[in-house]
Amino acid sequence: MFFLKRELRRLRRRLDEIIKTDTNARLTTVTSDKDVAALAAGINAMLERNRRGLFEKARAEAALKRAVTNISHDLRTPLTSALGYLQMLEAPGLDGETRARYLQTVRGRLEALSALMNSLFEFARVIEDNTAFDVRKINICNILRDAFSESYAELEKKGFTVDADIPDAPVLCLCDEDALRRVLQNLIKNVTVHGREYLRVRVNGGVIEIANKADGLDELDTGRIFERFYTADASRTSKNTGLGLAIAKELTERTGGHIAADVEGDMLVIRIGFAV
């Protein structure tokens, strides 16, 4: 009992030191008593869990600050520009051609602002929506063909060469059809905004691979690409909120799938997979 009490007092002092200094140290025991060792292991597990919680809290707070800054910038930029052109429209003696050009610019800025507000609304709706998804067997090849058919005109307008390898035989996976359509729409939109020249589409088992050529991939952090408001363009001049890929990730994971991104040479490759 004497040795056990001495060991418990030593553990308590060591625990006080760890709490005060906020280090990543762990409790160690110098006794062969299994119960004391188990107690120390339990305290270590609790310390580790608290450290992870504090780390996640700090990361979430930093992400929130970045999001508020980015939203403020994205809202202010087109709005300030539109107000500036409206003031110029009030100048006396403005000729018709200049007036039409200014109005076109104002329209473009307001459309960008509207697109941002729509993205914010869609993201909030996806996050807050607690409706159960209709996860069942669907042929992902048909959904993929439909999505690219709907976007064909836009891809052609942007000058993309599309290399598609979609099996004729059905590939049945467990997912929600509407959610998958929205995911694919967001991924294709990301391609048309940031990609160039070449788009490759593959289906391998339950995995859909969408790869496109793009510039600036050395600055892209694929570990953060699905974070809300993340954009590799630090100056935020690309008119991109980063919400499209965040929505794609949220919908994919909530319907039992997984999504990941990699850079392979001059290609950004995004893979989404579901249980076959």
CA distance 191 to 245: 11
Rounded Cα distance, 265 and 268, in Å: 8
Domain segments of the chain: what residues? Answer: 1-130, 135-273
- Tens digit of each residue's pLDDT (9 = 90 or more) over 145-173: 998 888 888 888 889 998 989 999 999 99
Contact 241, 140 (CB under 8 A): no
- The first and second tokens of residue 28, run together, are 């160690």
Distance from C-alpha of 113 to C-alpha of 102, rounded to nearest angstrom: 17
Pairing of strands 195-204, 161-165: parallel
Distance CA 31, CA 10 (A): 11
* Structure token pair of residue 152: 């064909």
Are 67 and 73 in contact, with CB atoms under 8 Å apart?
no
- Measure the CA–CA gap between 275 and 137, rounded to whole angstroms: 9
Who contacts 3 (Cβ-Cβ below 8 Å, separation ≥6)?
A: 31
Whole-prediction pTM: 0.62
Residues of the chain where predicted confidence (pLDDT) is lower than 50? 234-238
pLDDT digits 0-9 by tens, 56-103 = 888 878 777 776 777 777 778 888 888 888 888 888 888 888 889 889
Q: Is residue 268 within 8 Å of 148, Cβ to Cβ? A: no
Q: CA 212 to CA 19: how far, in whole Å?
A: 50
Tell me which residue of 186, 188, 146, 136 sits closest to 166, measured CA to CA: 146
Q: Which two tokens stand for residue 200?
A: 């490759």
Neighbour-count burial of 259, counting CB atoms closer than 10 A to its CB (0-12 exposed, 13-18 middle, 19+ buried): buried
Name residue, tokens 């950004």: 268
What's the CATH code, domain 135-273?
3.30.565.10
What does the pLDDT read at residue 205? Answer: 85
Contact assessment for residue 99 and residue 89, using Cβ atoms and an 8 Å cutoff:
yes
pLDDT at 265 (0 to 100): 87
pLDDT at position 258, please? Answer: 93
Euclidean distance between CA atoms 94 and 96, whole angstroms? 7
Q: What CATH architecture applies to the domain 1-130?
A: Orthogonal Bundle (1.10)
Helix (H, G, I), strand (E, B) or coil at 198: strand
* C-alpha–C-alpha distance, residues 106 and 91, integer Å: 15
Q: Three-state SS for 275?
A: coil
**Tokens in use for 267?**
């290609």
